[in-house]
């Protein structure tokens, strides 16, 4: 099964716009792997078929009837998550030290609901996304579950392609979304911060032996930085698969939730997809 993961070194570069357009062009199962702040579903307007709870990591819980209130757990907790024989779930890191140290065996490690996974249908095909509750951990684990569910749906329906919209940056959710990727499509914008962040995420993809390709979004807004992106890619043997022009109609179409996108930017994204199909998929 082929997997295209669309990533960018920073937020706002346009990767979700590109992914949404890809969803209208490909026979694929699509997944949003930005579980902290998903937004691809806004454009795809899915119908939720199934909601799956995500438990995440286990956290400590004191069993009051067993607790002798010796205070040992509070003294040992380096995260200050225990006070007055109560567990602060926000502070608890799930390390399990108090659980192992309690002489009364009055602490248990409990997995509770930390988020939700949504299996949905859109007019373009199957779509999976998730939402991690505010302040919760294990976003990488949740991304992995989203990707595995999307892969299972693809296998059940005889589809041999996944398209993943990765999170911004280079953190755990991005690493999890790159697992199993055939291609990492890096969407870059022509600003100095965009260039620097593009370099970081390319280094991340190459660290995991994944072929990075680059699409420059709004390339004509700053031709000097676009030239620097092109120079970097040429010197590092990275293929630029497209240059998307600035199109003021795209934000209007996004606001009106219109897909597929029309206009010169939409046409270039279609050309990028054809390049990927012909050369790498």
Structure confidence by residue, pLDDT tens digits, 233-245 = 999 999 999 999 9
Phi/psi for 41 (5° steps) reads -65, -25
How many Å apart are CA 125 and CA 135, to the nearest integer? 32
Q: Can you give the pLDDT at residue 123?
A: 94
Structure confidence by residue, pLDDT tens digits, 210-221: 989 999 999 999
Q: Tell how many helices (H) and how many strands (E) occur in the chain.
A: 10, 13
pLDDT at 245: 96
Asked whether 117 and 13 are in contact (CB, 8 A), the reply is: no
pLDDT of 222 higher than 90: yes
- Please answer whether residues 6 and 185 qualify as being in contact, where contact means their C-beta atoms are separated by less than 8 angstroms: yes
Mean pLDDT of 84-113: 92
In 3D, which of 91, 68, 90, 89 has the Cα closest to residue 78? Answer: 91
Q: 95: pLDDT confidence band, cut at 50, 70 and 90?
A: very high
Q: In this predicted structure, what is the pLDDT of residue 111? A: 86
pLDDT for residue 113: 87
The band of 279, judged by pLDDT with boundaries at 50, 70 and 90, is confident
- Residue 10 binned pLDDT confidence (cut-offs 50, 70, 90): confident
What is the predicted pLDDT for the residue at 61? 94
Structural domains for the chain: 2-54+115-279 (3.40.50.300), 59-110 (3.30.70.20)
Mean pLDDT of all residues in 226-252:
95
**What is the CB neighbour count within 10 angstroms for residue 140?**
19
At residue 12, the pLDDT reads: 86
CA dist 213 and 43 (Å) reads 24
| Residue 200 clears pLDDT 80, i.e. is over it | yes
Alpha-carbon distance of 1 to 259, in angstroms, equals 26
Q: Cis omega before residue 260 (within 30°)?
A: yes
Across the chain, mean pLDDT equals 94
Please give the pLDDT value at position 130: 96
Would you say residue 280 has pLDDT above 90? no
Q: What digits encode the pLDDT tens for the residues 119-171?
A: 999 999 999 999 998 877 778 999 999 999 999 999 999 999 999 999 989 99
Contact 5, 213 (CB under 8 A): no
* pLDDT at residue 30 tops 80: yes
The pLDDT of residue 51 is 97
C-alpha separations of 212 from 4, 163, 188, 202, 203 in Å: 10, 15, 12, 6, 9
Q: How far apart are CA 52 and CA 131, in angstroms?
A: 11
Checking if the pLDDT of 47 tops 80, the result is: yes
Higher pLDDT, 11 or 21: 21
Task: Single out the residue of 198, 199, 204, 162 nearest to residue 181, CA to CA.
Answer: 162
SS3 199: helix
Mean pLDDT for the stretch of residues 254-259 = 92
């Amino acid at each position: 099964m082929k997997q295209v993961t669309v990533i960018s070194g920073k937020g706002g570069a346009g990767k979700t716009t590109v992914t949404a357009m890809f969803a209208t062009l490909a026979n694929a199962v699509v997944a949003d792997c930005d579980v902290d702040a998903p937004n691809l579903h806004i454009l795809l307007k899915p119908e939720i078929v199934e909601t799956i709870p995500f438990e995440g990591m286990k956290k400590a819980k004191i069993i009051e009837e067993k607790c002798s209130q010796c205070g040992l757990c509070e003294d040992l907790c380096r995260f200050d998550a225990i006070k007055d024989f109560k567990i602060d779930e926000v502070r608890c890191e799930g390390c399990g030290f108090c659980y192992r140290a309690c002489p009364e065996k009055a602490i248990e490690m409990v997995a509770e609901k930390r988020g939700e996974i949504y299996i949905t249908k859109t007019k373009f095909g199957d779509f999976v996304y998730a939402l991690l509750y505010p302040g919760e951990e294990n976003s990488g684990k949740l991304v992995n579950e989203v990707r595995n569910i999307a892969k299972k749906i693809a296998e059940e329906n005889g589809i041999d392609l996944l398209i993943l919209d990765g999170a911004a940056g280079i953190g755990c959710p991005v690493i999890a979304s790159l697992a199993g990727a055939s291609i990492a499509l890096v969407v870059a914008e022509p600003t100095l911060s965009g260039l620097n962040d593009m370099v970081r995420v390319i280094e991340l993809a190459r660290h995991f032996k994944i072929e990075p390709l680059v699409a420059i979004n709004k390339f004509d807004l700053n031709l000097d930085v676009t030239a620097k992106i092109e120079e970097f890619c040429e010197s590092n043997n990275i293929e630029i698969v497209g240059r998307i022009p600035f199109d003021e109609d795209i934000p209007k179409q996004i606001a009106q939730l219109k897909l597929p996108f029309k206009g010169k930017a939409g046409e270039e994204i279609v050309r990028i997809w054809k390049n990927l199909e012909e050369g790498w998929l």
